[in-house]
A = this chain, B = another copy of it.
Amino acid sequence: MIIVLKPGVAQESVDEILGLIASKDLKPLHMPGAERVVLGALGDERVLAELSLEGHPDVESVKPILQPYKLVSREIHPHDTVVKIGNVAVGGKEFCVVAGPCAVETPEQVRASADAVKAGGAHAIRAGAYKPRSSPYSFQGHGPDGLRLLAEVGREMGLPIVTEVMDVADVELVAEEADCLQIGARNMQNFGLLKAVGRTRRPILLKRGMAAKVEDLLLAAEYILAEGNEQVILCERGIRTFETATRNTLDLNAIPYIKQKTHLPVMVDPSHGTGVRDLVIPMALAAAACGADGILVEVHENPAKAWSDGAQSLYPEQFEQLMTRLKPVVKAVGRTLGPASAA
């Protein structure tokens, strides 16, 4: 329920109502605004009805929350949330570009790739130290050593780092080293992991699962917010369909739909969303045009030698071309694509 208070209600009255909500074992929310205070109550709405808050002298109106998700909904939080990855703002006027190789392979490869994305104008670097792989015989990532290497390179370059965490046991370490924790598509409904990252105070990049409806994605984000972490960025990365020309079907419909339903920022991953290098640039432009807050793109110093995802990784010169072509499109939709430092 959303409880809109009358203008100018005293703090003690606010506290009283929050207390009433809590007394019924509902979760109270306090959302003070410029003109008036809005309260929320999460839980069994029949229980709340017993309080008859509509009749309370300081309450203007009581409205149900129509969506199954609550904290992520624009209904109770109408303004855009801006998430900070290091010093990079995601969800504001600036369009955000996070780029880097699929995996941390070697110190040379990480440095060369970081050089390339920095030179191209990326705002942050991505690379995986923990790799979810369909086969147990594929390269599984370097783990903690890879993580520390990535963090070190990020610091040297002044690039915030985004990296995946796959296991609850690793959350603490990754939260220490990384500026933003990625939850991969396969773990979108790994609820224990969602709760664990919800208890950190790091931004979370939450990727949509391959068979997840947008509503499922928003509910997965709700798990994180419900633990107290409101720094969540959603990410569309392609869904599974019958089409085999591309690795996945990038569902850009989801971008304007998500922006309507939630205040959280949303990014697009055109690399996994297509699986085909030549399609990455046009789909990055499309993502910017339909309102995404940024992109996550795979760039490798030498994709032909990449240990994973080579077929969808951009060459450094292609990344430069992407940034050059992205700038006018971003501007055409009223946003900016500045240098990393200004992001």
Contact = CB atoms under 8 A, between A and B. Distances in A.
Contacts of A7: none
A28 to B, nearest CB: 14
A223 B140 CA distance: 12
Contacts of A222: 135-136
Interface in A242-260: 242-246, 249-257, 260
Contacts of A133: 191
A172 interface: no
Interface string A204-225: 0000011101111001101100
Contacts of A69: 135
Interface stretch (A98-106, A120-128, A279-287): A279-287
Interface residues of A, number: 71
A282 B289 contact: yes
Q: This chain: how many copies in the complex?
A: 4
B285 A333 contact: yes
Interface in A73-131: none
A167 B166 contact: no
A211 B226 contact: no
B134 A189 contact: yes
A132 B191 contact: yes
Contacts of A167: 168, 192
A211 B210 contact: yes
B166 A168 contact: no
A191 B211 contact: no
A190 B190 contact: yes
Give the one of A189, A325, A328, A333 with max B CB within 10 A. A189
A10 interface: no
A61 to B, nearest CB: 22
Interface in A273-318: 273-274, 276, 278-279, 282-283, 285-291
Q: When A and B form their complex, which 8 residue pairs have the shortest distance between CB atoms, in order from nearest?
A: A211-B211, A289-B289, A328-B332, A286-B290, A186-B189, A286-B286, A167-B192, A256-B282
Given A134-B220, A243-B254, 6 more contacts: A187-B189, A211-B242, A241-B251, A249-B249, A282-B291, A329-B332
